[in-house]
Amino acid sequence: MSLVLHCDPPPLHTIEDGTVRIVGTRIPLEIVIEEFKDGATAEEIVIHYPTLKLADVYTIIGFYLKHKSEVEAYLRKQEADAEAIIRKIQTNQDLNGIRERLLARQAVMRGNDASASGR
């Protein structure tokens, strides 16, 4: 019996916003790559993310090692996009006096709870 050699594509797909995710999960590629770069083994990654399959994690790591420059460029773009979203949110939020507003709301809620229990 001879062994049939073939290459399976990496278990990755791109969703509409450009994020690359592991097929069958909601886990983005950057999670697996960052864990790997932080020294986690494929087995440890699967322990942290049990929806992943060990063979898929090995395939993804192999894909990363073979296409490092493209994956690193993708990771940099994802990070830049995330930072841009954070800046946009921070720009659009009025954080002045937020502590005071939250404390005032909490005091009102406590007052409502006290009057409801006193009936």
E strand or H helix at 22: strand 20-22
Instruction: Profile the chain (119 residues) by mean pLDDT over runs of 10 residues.
Output: 90 96 97 98 98 97 97 96 89 76 90 67
Encoded tokens for 59: 């395939």
Q: Which residues contact 36 (CB under 8 A, 6 or more apart)?
A: 42, 45, 61, 64
Domains of the chain, each with CATH number or no CATH: 12-117 (1.10.10.10)
Q: How far apart are CA 71 and CA 109, in angstroms?
A: 49
Tokens, residue 98 = 């937020």
What confidence score (pLDDT) does residue 117 get? 62
Q: What is the pLDDT of residue 115?
A: 65
